[in-house]
């Protein structure tokens, strides 16, 4: 197969038996990034034809197979990934993770199936048993709440990646949101906008996300030489009612906050309602930031600044880990934290930004 064949037919390369990209890079005398770009069918004009030719020839010597995009290929003929979720209705997180995993799997020409177990080990075992002799590349096990899980033996026999959860013995790959860094980023965002007294309405006690977002909040205060005031931290339960009640309590303090960090967007909805009842404007009087970037956040008045809960990206990363494992690229389980990106909207605008918008609207 020639370079011209690749260009004309729009081929992608898939490693047949696990030779890693750094072997191809060494053989071709280029970087791993260049190998990945050429073998994935990338059309970057930055690569000379001679460079592409060297990568293709080296890949063929190392046993790469070239297949048309969309043609199914998987190590050992294992062409299906099973996504096992505990819940999909109460929150959108596992549906988002499944979408990310499915999109990544389809790029590799691999099927995806989903089962919902409600956390019942017997149901999980029965779901796998019902698949018969279906060739399984691996499993993804996901939970709505970030938490520790015990994996049934029926699942542990397969390649397995945990999404939004982790096992106590660290026997399996796990992919988690970067809640600590997210909590820190949210708090620093408010501090950098001139807010000096920041309230925090936390989530359900005992839940990993609540613990980690509070930890990030405290880290940000400490790094910016702002004393931690326990009176500014209130317990919540992820629901709007808690956001409403705790905002009323915060604003009743002798020295109330000029900003409130709600540990999720739903509590920010209740926070908005309480501030409105008190005759206070967001963000003129009190800036508000949430977490999760639910769809409602962009439609609040004003639109809510928040952080993305990156379940879609976590699902994609899970498939990448399974594919790497199938190719023999991992020697030990890894724990990956995925960044929670900040989405800035009008609920945390500075005084200068507010003035600029008002003048522009005239």
The per-residue pLDDT for 119 is 87
The per-residue pLDDT for 355 is 57
Quick check: 16 and 74 in contact, CB under 8 A? no
The per-residue pLDDT for 12 is 33
- Could you identify the residue written with the tokens 């004003």? 302
Work out the angle at residue 149's Cα, subtended by the Cα atoms of residues 89 and 203, and round it to the nearest 5 degrees: 60
**What distance in Å separates the CA atoms of residue 191 and residue 198, rounded to the nearest whole number?**
8
- pLDDT tens for 3-62 read 434 333 333 333 332 334 445 455 555 544 455 555 544 444 445 666 667 767 776 666
The per-residue pLDDT for 51 is 65
Quick check: 314 and 163 in contact, CB under 8 A? yes
- Edge-first strand listing for the sheet containing 111-116: 111-116, 80-85, 136-148, 160-166, 173-177, 335-338
- How long, in residues, is the chain? 362
The per-residue pLDDT for 332 is 86
Query: 103, 117, 177, 185: which is closest to 151 by C-alpha?
Result: 117
**Structure-token pair, residue 306:** 């928040």
pLDDT-flagged residues of the chain (< 50)? 1-22, 24, 31-33, 40-46, 65-75
Domains along the chain with CATH numbers: 3-68 (1.10.260.40), 75-171+312-337 (3.40.50.2300), 179-305+344-361 (3.40.50.2300)
- pLDDT tens for 272-305 read 999 999 999 999 999 999 999 999 999 999 999 9
The per-residue pLDDT for 3 is 41
CA dist 77 → 39, 106, 135 (Å): 21, 15, 7
The per-residue pLDDT for 46 is 44
Chain centroid to CA 40: 23
The per-residue pLDDT for 356 is 64
**What distance in Å separates the CA atoms of residue 203 and residue 304, rounded to the nearest whole number?**
18
What value does the CA radius of gyration of the chain take, rounded to a whole number of Å? 24
The per-residue pLDDT for 231 is 98
């Amino acid at each position: 197969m020639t370079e011209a064949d690749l260009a004309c037919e729009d081929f992608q390369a898939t490693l047949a038996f696990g030779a890693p990209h750094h072997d191809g890079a060494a053989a071709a005398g280029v970087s791993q990034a260049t190998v990945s770009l050429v073998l994935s069918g990338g059309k970057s004009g930055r690569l000379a034809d001679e460079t592409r030719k060297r990568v293709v020839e080296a890949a063929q010597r190392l046993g790469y197979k070239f297949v048309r995009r969309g043609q199914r290929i998987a190590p050992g003929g294992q062409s299906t990934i099973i996504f096992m979720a505990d819940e999909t209705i109460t929150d959108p997180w596992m549906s988002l993770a499944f979408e990310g995993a499915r999109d990544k799997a389809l790029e590799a020409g691999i099927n995806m199936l989903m089962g919902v177990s409600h956390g019942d080990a017997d149901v999980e075992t029965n779901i796998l048993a019902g698949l018969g002799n279906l060739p399984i590349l691996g499993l993804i096990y996901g939970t709505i709440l970030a938490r520790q899980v015990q994996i049934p033996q029926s699942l542990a026999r397969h390649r397995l990646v945990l999404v939004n959860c982790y096992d106590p013995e660290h026997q399996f790959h796990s992919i988690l949101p970067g809640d600590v860094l997210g909590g820190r980023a949210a708090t620093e965002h408010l501090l950098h906008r001139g807010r000096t007294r920041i309230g925090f309405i936390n989530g359900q006690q005992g839940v990993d996300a609540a613990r980690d977002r509070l930890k990030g909040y405290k880290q940000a205060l400490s790094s910016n030489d702002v004393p931690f005031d326990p009176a500014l931290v209130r317990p919540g339960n992820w629901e709007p009612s808690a956001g409403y009640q705790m905002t009323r309590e915060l604003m009743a303090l002798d020295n109330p906050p000029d900003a409130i960090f709600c540990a999720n967007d739903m509590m920010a909805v209740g926070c908005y309602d309480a501030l409105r009842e008190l005759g206070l404007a967001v963000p003129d009087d009190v800036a508000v930031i949430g977490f999760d970037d639910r769809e409602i956040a962009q439609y609040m008045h004003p639109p809510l600044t928040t952080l993305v809960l990156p379940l879609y990206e976590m699902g994609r990363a899970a498939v990448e880990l399974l594919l790497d494992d199938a190719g023999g690229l991992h020697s030990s389980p890894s724990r990956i934290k995925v960044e929670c990106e900040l989405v800035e909207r009008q609920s945390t605008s500075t005084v200068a930004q507010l003035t600029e918008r008002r003048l522009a609207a005239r």
